[in-house]
Structure 1
Amino acid sequence: MTTVEDPVAAAARCTPEFRRNPHPVYAHLRDEAPVCPMRPPHGIDTYLITRYEDARAALSDPRLSKDMYGAMDAYRRIFGDSSLALDDNMLNSDPPKHTRLRKLVNSEFTPRRVESLRPRIQDVVETLLDGCETREPVDLLPAFAFPLPITVICELLGVPRDERSQVQGWSTTVANTGFGEEFKQAQAKAEESMHAYFADLLARKRSRPGDDLLSALTATRDKDGGLTENELISTAFLLMFAGHKTTAFLIGNAVYHLLANPAQLRAVRENPELVGRAVEELVRYDGSVETATFRFATEDVEIAGTRIPKGALVQIALTAANRDPLKFESPDQFDVMRPQTEQSAHLGFGHGIHYCVGAPLARLEMQLALTGLFSRFPKLALADPASEPRWMEVPFPAFRGLAELPIVLEPAVP
């Protein structure tokens, strides 16, 4: 058993030590309190699930609702009223509403549409890498990891080029987590701006449709009447929001761990066909979504001998589940040759009806990003291999990503 000083408090408060390395805390909780009651800074009783089998079951348990409108008081305390209009989407709903909304997105966000993006994603990768050719240390996050997915999702949705930086700025503000009044005001303003923007953009798609996902969703919605106007706006926001930040952090995490594990990087370089397996292992080992989005208990629920009372919030620690030794052999070891049955079992993209609709796109972007980066810069290295990485600070477990990733693309030969 891993010994950790006050692990519940560390996880609840997201202490700096926890952000640097949450895995000892999660190991302790899996052993001692696999369904752990805690009081995060938002002040609402929350139960954190850390074991793999419990997490997998909870992700598809209908008693743990995703309809945050059903937990309105808790929702408002955490997110504020300004978020309500943008959260009227499939991520925050249960069947039958979720089924209706997901069906519409699935009908247009198809594997064929995603695969058709391959040449364009490759072009974006090459263009970004063209701008990175320098012998000076560069922060890979703003130079490559963030611009790639934001460019791809904007092109997929049909966001005009000259409007993307503004949309990205709003989305970044919305994605930030905090509880101060100044933060809440900035977030509310960004949410209102994004709602107005997507309402206007969708109106433009109706009058001048293009070959993009929002035009297709608008046409399908208007033909079938399957969505309200606000549901369509909220769906556009969800695809935009979910389509860039998580992938950007995942690219950063992946590059860091490959550079920090030269033997694994060498295996991928010598066997390019391993890149797909490497992506799955990286999502398992240190994915960008630390916990699944909030659920709440619609009735008393017992998991692993712990009673979760009706109305309590539930967070499912995907990062903890993906390192559960009861499921994965040597789970704290990064191994691109891990058996594929284990690699495919990870919960990094969720499970059940809320499984990430953008997972195929994220996988494709990751594969092309890693292949392009390490092919273009075979001498790529961490700027300071001896220094500890600096991880993004959050007030409660949500996203997991680096705050910066200084690298040297062409280290000088000594």
Structure 2
Amino acid sequence: MTDALHLTPELVEDPVRGYADLRARTDVGHAVLPGLDTPVRLLTRFEDVRAALTEPRLIRDRGAVPGGSDMPDPQAELLAQGLEGLPAEYVPYLSGHLALFDGDEHTRRRGPLTRAFTARRVSALRPFVEKTARDLLTLLAGREQADLLGEFAYPLCTAVICELVGVDAADQDRVCGWIRDFAYGDGSGVVEGLAGIVEYTKDLVARRRAEPADDLVSALLADGGLSDDEIVTAFFLLINTGITPPALFLAHGVLALFDHPEQLERLRAEPELLSRAVPELLRYVTLVRIGATLYATEDFEFAGTPLKKGEAVTVGLFGADHDPAAYEAPERLDITREFGRGDGHLAFGHGPHYCIGAALGRVLTSVVFEELLVRRPSAPELAVDRDDVEFGHWPGDGFHLVRLPVRL
């Protein structure tokens, strides 16, 4: 497609100017996402993205398009890359992700998780999050250099998910090791980590059926809405959405404050601003940069664009959260920014697929920023030159920190 914008890492890293040409069009333009070859209609305007996420004629499951579709599919290209080399018997646990279902099937799979993810359960995790964060920070304090991502954020988020699910204390080091190898290791232990998590979770489900506890697996079993295999799949949903995205957000959020020292100084001077700083950092960072692919169920016009049945559309959440039409000076981090009703940003998505762990994410974020940035006698500092901070690039989504060296 000759007029498709090929998104480079440099363009994705600048969500105001990088998407300016797409936003300026009267229709929805095509783009090729980083690391992919298949073009897709890319929505970058805030109101278009919000509308798409509640549009019933745009669905997640391509197989449910009436009569099927033979149009280009970037989601298939992305999944093929992600599942390459994994044993076939484990693939269903990864391809059964909630984000890929719609309507009644999505409701059936999401309902038990929503009912189990109660405010009481999330609130009860706060003391565990606080203690774990403090213990990790104590271990890292005083070192010449500590990796805030690899040695703090990832272990913290992993421990919280294990605690939520109900991994027994005696098993947590082993299970956390598998999760690390599968979700954010160097790639050499992915298959072993995947297999370990699957077999352990199957065993945990059997044990909790015999002896229920106050944990998520027991709650899902009591609910009865999911099969045993679907509970294993739910664990992978929590691993994929509850560890890497929040861990990266914590690191990117701290880096954003390093880049805006006046904002960090003001947050330390006025801790009450934390309740505004968290949503503003969520907007500013928007860790999930590109949302799931959507498919038109029929020919219709959307955002000034005639869509064909089966045509692929995706949402640029990072771009939408930096839309000048939606925010004054969106490129500026402003911890006093007020959003009004609701989130005021799309970092957690919108509509039926709104992030199921958003409440947990807010607890985790507020605890970490308070313990790391507000309570400590002095603020952490970047331990390397800013130009030496290392980023990696993921297919379809863009750039992410590889590590964040700091002095505590």
Same fold (TM over 0.5): yes
Matched, 1:205 2:208: yes
Structure 2 counterpart of 1:149, from 148, 157, 160: 157
Pick the aligned partner of 1:61 from 55, 64, 88. 55
Q: Is residue 7–residue 28 contact of structure 1 (8 Å, CA) maintained in 2?
A: no
1:140: Cα distance to partner? 1.0
Change (3 A) 1:287 1:389: farther
Alignment check: 8 A CA contact 1:295 1:313 kept: yes
Q: Residues of 2 paired with 1:59 and 1:237: CA distance? A: 23
What is the match of residue 52 of structure 1?
46
Q: Deviations over 1:144-193 (max 9, x none)?
A: 111111110111001231322113322337xx9xxxxxx8x986776565
Specify the alignment match of 2:124 in structure 1: 116
Distance 1:33 1:255, change over 3 A: farther
The offset of 1:108, in angstroms, is: 1.1
Per-residue displacement from partner, 1:263-303 (whole Å, max 9, x unpaired)?
11122111212112101000111121101122222222422
- Please identify, of 357-366 and 67-76, the stretch whose mean Cα deviation from structure 2 is larger: 67-76
Listed as ranges, the gaps of 5+ residues in structure 1 are 1-5, 177-182, 410-414
Change (3 A) 1:361 1:145: same
Unaligned runs of 5+ in 2: none
Residue 29 of structure 1 pairs with residue 18 of structure 2: no
Partner of 1:412: none
Q: Deviations over 1:329-349 (max 9, x none)?
A: 111111011123288310110
Cα deviations across residues 378-413 of structure 1 (Å, max 9, x unaligned)? 142112354264332112226x5312212222xxxx
- Return the alpha-carbon distance in structure 1 between the equivalents of residues 27 and 194 of structure 2: 35
Q: Which moved more, 1:86-95 or 1:343-352?
A: 86-95
Distance 1:187 1:301 in 2: 42
The alpha carbon displacement at 1:313 in A equals: 2.2
Could you say if the C-alpha distance between residues 164 and 112 of structure 1 is closer, same or farther in structure 2, counting changes exceeding 3 Å? same
One-letter code aligned to 1:394: W
- Does the CA-based 8 Å contact 2:5-2:30 persist in structure 1? no
Mean Cα displacement is larger for which, 323-332 or 371-380? 371-380
Residues 44, 313 of structure 1: 8 Å contact kept: no
Taking a change above 3 Å as real, the CA distance of residues 78 and 101 of structure 1, as seen in their structure-2 partners, is same
What letter is aligned with 2:105? K
Distance 1:20 1:106 in 2: 33
Q: Distance in 2 between matches of 1:217 and 1:234?
A: 12
Task: Please state if 1:383 is matched with 2:405.
Answer: no
Map of 1:169 onto structure 2 = 181
Counterpart position of 2:271: 272
Task: After superposing the two structures, state which structure 1 stretch, 302-311 or 236-245, moved more.
Answer: 302-311
Q: Does 1:307 align with 2:310?
A: no
Letter in 2 for 1:58: A
Cα RMSD for the two superposed structures = 2.7
| Equivalent residue, structure 2, for 1:99 | 107
**Distance in structure 1 (CA, Å) of the matches to 2:404 and 2:300:** 42
Q: Is the 8 A contact 2:62 2:310 kept in 1?
A: no
Equivalent in the alignment of 1:407 = 406
The 10-residue stretch of structure 1 (313-322 or 235-244) with the greater mean CA deviation from structure 2: 235-244
Cα distance, 1:284–1:30 mapped onto 2, change above 3 Å: same
Distance 2:377 2:307 in 1: 51
Could you tell me which amino acid in structure 1 is paired with residue 387 of structure 2?
A: S
Between the two proteins, what is the percent identity of the paired residues?
A: 35
Q: How many residues matched?
A: 387
- Looking at structure 1, the residues matched to 386 and 79 of structure 2 have their Cα atoms a distance apart, in angstroms, of 39
With the length of structure 2 as denominator, give the TM-score of the two structures. Answer: 0.86
What is the CA-CA distance between 1:200 and the residue it aligns to?
A: 3.0
Contact 1:86 1:234 survives alignment (8 Å)? yes
Q: 1:291 to 1:20 in 2, by over 3 A?
A: closer
User: Is the CA contact (8 Å cut-off) linking 1:253 and 1:402 kept in structure 2?
Assistant: yes
**Are residues 308 and 274 of structure 1, via their aligned partners in 2, closer, same or farther at CA, if it must alter by over 3 Å?**
same
CA–CA distance in structure 2, aligned partners of residues 386 and 292 of structure 1: 29
Deviation of 1:102 after TM superposition, in Å, equals 2.0
For residues 302 and 52 of structure 2, the distance between their equivalents in structure 1, rounded to whole angstroms, comes to: 8
The residue identity in structure 1 corresponding to 2:281 is L
Q: 1:229 to 1:313 in 2, by over 3 A?
A: farther
Cα distance change on mapping 1:125 and 1:33 into 2, 3 Å: farther
2:204 partner letter: L
| Paired residue type of 1:211 | D
C-alpha contact 1:250 1:401 (8 A) present in aligned 2: no
Question: Does the 8 Å contact 1:328/1:342 carry over to 2?
Answer: no
Distance 1:57 1:132 in 2: 44
Q: Which moved more, 1:346-355 or 1:193-202?
A: 193-202
Report the secondary structure of 1:392's partner residue: strand
Distance 2:350 2:376 in 1: 35
- State which drifts further: 157-166 or 256-265: 157-166
Write the distance in 2 (CA, Å) between the matches of 1:20 and 1:51. Answer: 17
The SS at the match of 1:215 is: helix
The answer to whether the 8 A contact 2:44-2:319 is kept is yes
**Shift, 1:68, TM fit:** 4.8
